């Protein structure tokens, strides 16, 4: 996590602006003691002292922290954004980034590997109850530029929620929307002779894969200016359940066939 409570004056502070001498620091969620991590390479952050069972900050990777600080620093420069903060505790949920964009309250959530679809659904419901619009972001990776991609459960969920697109953070407050199209795999042409000596053949055509999708990249979007608030009704698509939710989605027309 990037922030902690400085105990002596109960201020929420960034690890990057803190020194060990300013401590002790405690977690904004569980209140337990934190260790300040200020190395030369990694982004300055706090972590729980073991043993700990608190979920705040759990599963955060270096790239997750990089995304969080980078989006925050970039949104700081946007004139249409107010109330910007990171790691905001709303009681039922802690937002990675919270801000008000053109008078619309927004939570930006960055996907981390240990979050299940159930947890994502619960957090999305929590934001709806709070009247906050949520934007889920994945972290862009090279595999998304390949033709054949195996989408994870959370990506399928986001795809269903965000009108056939998943948003991936690339840099600053820039995200790229990706639609998962059909992946066509070739069924080999084979032939054989049946019991009557007749030649039979099969295959030799393309078939849509159930397991793989082809990522179709849209044009880059800016979180500060390219998104609109949208209310969604609950929807059940068999393997994907979408609760009633308030989301932030883009207004770009479909770019895929």
Where does this chain bind Zn ion (CB under 5 A)?
A: 27, 29-30, 54, 56
Smallest separation (angstroms) from Zn ion to the CB of 28: 7
Contact status, residue 24 vs residue 7, Cβ threshold 8 Å: yes
Give whichever of 27 and 107 is closer to Zn ion, judged by the CB atom: 27
Number of H-type helices and E-type strands within the chain: 3, 19
Give whichever of 56 and 148 is closer to Zn ion, judged by the CB atom: 56
Smallest separation (angstroms) from Zn ion to the CB of 210: 41
Smallest separation (angstroms) from Zn ion to the CB of 55: 8
Q: Which helix (H) or strand (E) holds 156?
A: helix 153-161
Look up residue 200 and give its two tokens. 């039979």
Contact status, residue 242 vs residue 235, Cβ threshold 8 Å: yes
Give whichever of 2 and 27 is closer to Zn ion, judged by the CB atom: 27
How many CB atoms sit inside 10 A of residue 103's CB? 8
Determine the Cα–Cα distance for residues 174 and 75; give it in Å rounded to an integer. Answer: 10
Look up residue 246 and give its two tokens. 């308030």
Smallest separation (angstroms) from Zn ion to the CB of 52: 7
Contact status, residue 187 vs residue 92, Cβ threshold 8 Å: no
Q: Which residues pair with 190 in a beta bridge?
A: 202
Give whichever of 56 and 156 is closer to Zn ion, judged by the CB atom: 56
Q: Which residues pair with 207 in a beta bridge?
A: 185
Contact status, residue 187 vs residue 203, Cβ threshold 8 Å: yes
Smallest separation (angstroms) from Zn ion to the CB of 215: 36
Smallest separation (angstroms) from Zn ion to the CB of 89: 10
Give whichever of 57 and 105 is closer to Zn ion, judged by the CB atom: 57
Determine the Cα–Cα distance for residues 134 and 124; give it in Å rounded to an integer. Answer: 7
Smallest separation (angstroms) from Zn ion to the CB of 106: 24
Residue with tokens 């957090």: 123
Residue 111's nearest CA partner among 93, 132, 94, 96 is 96
Give whichever of 56 and 66 is closer to Zn ion, judged by the CB atom: 56
Give whichever of 52 and 214 is closer to Zn ion, judged by the CB atom: 52
Exposed/middle/buried for residue 229 (C-beta within 10 Å: 0-12, 13-18, 19+): middle
């Amino acid at each position: 996590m990037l922030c902690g409570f400085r105990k002596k004056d109960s201020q929420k502070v960034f690890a990057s602006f803190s020194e060990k001498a300013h401590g002790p620091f405690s977690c904004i969620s569980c209140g337990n003691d934190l260790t300040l991590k200020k190395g030369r390479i990694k982004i300055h952050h706090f972590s729980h002292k073991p043993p700990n069972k608190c979920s705040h900050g759990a599963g955060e990777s270096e790239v997750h922290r990089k995304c969080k600080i980078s989006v925050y620093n970039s949104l700081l420069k946007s004139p249409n954004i107010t109330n910007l903060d990171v790691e905001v505790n709303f009681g039922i949920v802690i937002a990675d980034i919270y801000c008000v964009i053109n008078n619309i309250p927004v939570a930006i959530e960055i996907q981390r590997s240990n979050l299940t679809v159930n947890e994502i659904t619960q957090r999305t419901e929590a934001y709806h109850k709070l009247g906050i619009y949520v934007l889920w972001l994945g972290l862009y990776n090279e595999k998304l530029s390949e033709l054949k991609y195996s989408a994870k459960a959370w990506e399928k969920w986001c795809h269903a929620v965000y009108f056939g697109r998943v948003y991936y953070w690339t840099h600053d407050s820039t995200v790229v929307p990706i639609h998962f199209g059909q992946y066509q795999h070739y069924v080999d042409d084979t032939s054989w002779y049946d019991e009557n000596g007749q030649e039979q053949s099969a295959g030799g055509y393309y078939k849509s894969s159930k397991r793989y999708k082809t990522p179709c990249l849209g044009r880059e979007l800016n979180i500060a200016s390219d998104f609109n608030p949208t209310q969604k009704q609950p929807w059940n698509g068999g393997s994907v359940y979408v609760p009633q939710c308030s989301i932030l989605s883009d207004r770009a027309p479909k770019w895929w066939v």
